[in-house]
Amino acid sequence: MWFRNYNVHIRGFGAILLRCLLTCLVFFTINGLAQSSPKISSEVDTTFIKIGDQLKFKVSVEVDSTDVVIFPEGQTFSPLETVEAYATDTTRKKDRVTLLKTYALTQFDSGSYKLPAQRIDINGKGFFTDSLQINVANVAVDTLAQKMFDIKPLIEVEKSNSDIWKILLIILVVLVIVGALVYWFLLRKKVLTEEEQEALLPPYDRALLELKKLDNSKYLIQDEYKQYYSELTEIVRSYLEEDVNVSALESTTDELITKLEMMKDAGELELDDDTIKQFKSILQTADLVKFAKSKPPTNVAHQDRKAVEQIVVKTHEAIPEPTLEELMAQEEYQEALAQKQQRKKWMIAGTSALAVLLISAVAFLSYYGVTKAWDTLTGHPTKKLLDSEWVASSYGFPPISLETPEVLVRQEIKIPAEAKATIKELQSFIFRDAKAFLTLATTSTTFTQAAEPEFEKTIEQLLQNFEDKGAKNIITKKEEFVTASGVKGLKTYGSGKFKIPETKELIRGKYVILSFGGKGFQQQVLLTWEDGDQYAKEIINRVLTTIEVKTEV
């Protein structure tokens, strides 16, 4: 009996203890979950700004120190625009951190705008901030103190070719190279070396100069008689060959003396017999030194040197004065020789310039390829657009942002009376190049009612417009289009035969119609280009990668 009562008491006490443990477990679990769950709050420093002013939007996130938090980036605050996203401020308290992210926002049109809820990604799970209403007021203008003027009309400005400086630079480099070649080969006065200056001297002066150099040599001091007599006889032989016109260098001693005697007898050289005999004696001595290894006394070598100089002087004086015909023939010869040298210089300069041009052309063709090089030289219209300085801008409202080779021009479009009940405003911008059959256009439409846009009807009207302008065999395809920021739209594209403006000719062309929108608005981009035009295709592909649209009015 006592055991049973004791057992009952034990069971009752165990049940109470179990309930206490479960209660504590639930309490601490809930408490722990409450501590680990993130806390998100957001606020703005003001809900009323003037056009162009900035407001500060702050997002505070309290999480565990191990949580991964990703704040929104880019233009996610539409219709407000992000001016700057400041660095995240972090405050740590025990195992919890508070992250404070601040954004500077603005708007350049007056009205009441909804600041949309922003997604905060925490450990892969999305949390959203509260949406807020922001009022943007016009800046008051004092029309009494400042006179008001009408809006100035659009002014057409000629496009500045951004590549012209490259062409001018290439031309300048080629001209500098050609000018340098002309100067180097034709105009430059070449600095002659000592040997070249001596070579230009008359034979008589050159012979005397070479004899003086032989006096300053060390051949006799070094007992090099063979070298001494070799140079001595070569000086006099060279002089005779040039000034007397007798083949002296290849003649033997006897042959040379015989030729001189024959010229003396013929009256072509007024030289006495003693001079010829003395010259023959010197040549024979030189032959013995060179071939028989004879070694005359040093004073004899010096006497032979002085005798050779006298022979050169007497021979120079013995040469008859040239006749007028000989002088004229010699002058004509010199003139012909100068002309020949001038032609040679021009040929070298021309060949060098041609080589530079050929190398430049080969480099140009290697870099661009034959087709692109030809298109660059001939100024292919779409290649000029592709290589020009592109413009990034936003058009209409809601805005459509994209990059184009030329600025799109606003079109004055009157809304038909029957459409005014549904269309509040229609803004269209376009660039068209008729030569290249290239069209880039945007259209932003706001409706009077917050209804979803009817893309199909608008696309049908655009295709009908193609046909009204003479297009035939239009093929249409459709697929989803997603911008770089993730905005989805409808892509309608295809091909057909399109009429060239002001002609009856049809060409094969392609088109793309992009449609975006939401309740109360619609945005469309129209692109057309000639099929097979590689440059136009590159333009279209680049435009498509830069398109961005606002998703809220």
Q: DSSP secondary structure string, 480-514?
A: EEE-TT--EEEEEEEEEEEEPTTSS-EEEEEEEEE
CA-wise closest residue to 395 among 406, 381, 383, 385: 406
Please tell me what DSSP assigns to residue 478: E
- Alpha-carbon gap, residue 300 to 298, rounded angstroms: 5
Cα distances from 204 to residues 49, 80, 198, 244, 336, in angstroms, run 103, 99, 11, 10, 24
534 within 8 A of 510, measured Cβ to Cβ: no
CATH for the 381-549 domain, from 3.40.630.30, 3.40.1000.10, 3.30.1330.10, 2.60.40.2890: 3.40.1000.10
CA-wise closest residue to 533 among 502, 503, 508: 508
pTM score of the predicted model: 0.41
Bond from prior residue into 79 cis (ω within 30 degrees of 0):
yes
Cα distances from 66 to residues 37, 38, 96, 122, 482, in angstroms, run 12, 12, 9, 11, 34
CA-wise closest residue to 311 among 200, 202, 198, 207: 207
CA quadruple 447, 450, 456, 459: dihedral sign: positive
- Alpha-carbon gap, residue 481 to 486, rounded angstroms: 9
* E strand or H helix at 366: helix 324-368
- Alpha-carbon gap, residue 163 to 54, rounded angstroms: 40
Cβ within 8 Å of residue 232, ≥6 positions away: 211, 214, 282, 286, 304, 305, 308
pLDDT tens digit at each of 553 positions of the chain: 333 343 434 344 344 444 544 444 444 444 444 446 888 999 999 998 988 889 999 999 999 888 888 998 877 888 888 888 999 988 888 888 999 999 999 988 888 898 888 989 898 888 989 888 999 887 665 555 556 666 666 666 565 555 566 777 787 888 888 778 777 776 666 666 777 777 778 888 888 889 898 888 888 888 898 999 999 999 989 988 888 888 888 889 899 889 888 888 888 888 888 888 998 999 999 899 888 888 888 888 889 889 989 988 888 888 876 666 766 766 776 777 778 877 777 777 777 777 777 777 666 666 655 566 666 666 677 888 887 889 888 888 888 889 998 889 888 878 777 777 788 888 899 998 877 778 899 998 888 888 788 888 888 888 888 888 878 888 889 898 988 888 888 999 988 888 776 677 788 888 999 999 888 888 889 999 888 888 888 888 999 999 998 766 5
CA quadruple 190, 193, 199, 201: dihedral sign: positive
Bond from prior residue into 398 cis (ω within 30 degrees of 0):
yes
Q: How, if at all, do strands 409-411 and 400-404 pair? A: unpaired
Please tell me what DSSP assigns to residue 420: T
pLDDT of residue 43: 92
CA quadruple 175, 177, 180, 184: dihedral sign: negative
pLDDT of residue 327: 61
304 within 8 A of 282, measured Cβ to Cβ: yes
| HSE, side-chain direction, 13 A CA sphere, residue 209 | 12
pLDDT of residue 512: 92
Query: How would you label 201-219 residue by residue, b for 16+ Cβ within 10 Å and e otherwise?
Result: eebbebbbebbeebeeeeb
**How many Å separate Cα 8 from the centre of its chain?**
95
CA-wise closest residue to 116 among 83, 81, 77, 70: 77
The CATH code of domain 201-320 reads: 1.20.120
Q: DSSP secondary structure string, 29-54?
A: HHHHHHHHS-EEEEEES-SEEETT-E
3-state secondary structure of 23: helix
pLDDT of residue 146: 57
82 within 8 A of 71, measured Cβ to Cβ: no
- Alpha-carbon gap, residue 109 to 52, rounded angstroms: 8
pLDDT of residue 16: 47
Q: DSSP secondary structure string, 331-349?
A: HHHHHHHHHHHHHHHHHHH
Backbone angles phi, psi at 502, to 5 degrees: 65, 20
What residues pair up with 428 in beta bridges, in sequence order? 411, 443
Count of CB atoms within 10 A of residue 439's CB?
17
- Work out the angle at residue 307's Cα, subtended by the Cα atoms of residues 306 and 310, and round it to the nearest 5 degrees: 90
Residue type, 453: P
* E strand or H helix at 199: helix 194-199
CATH for the 39-137 domain, from 3.40.50.300, 2.60.40.740, 2.120.10.30, 1.20.1440.80: 2.60.40.740
pLDDT of residue 365: 61
Question: What's the chain's length in residues?
Answer: 553
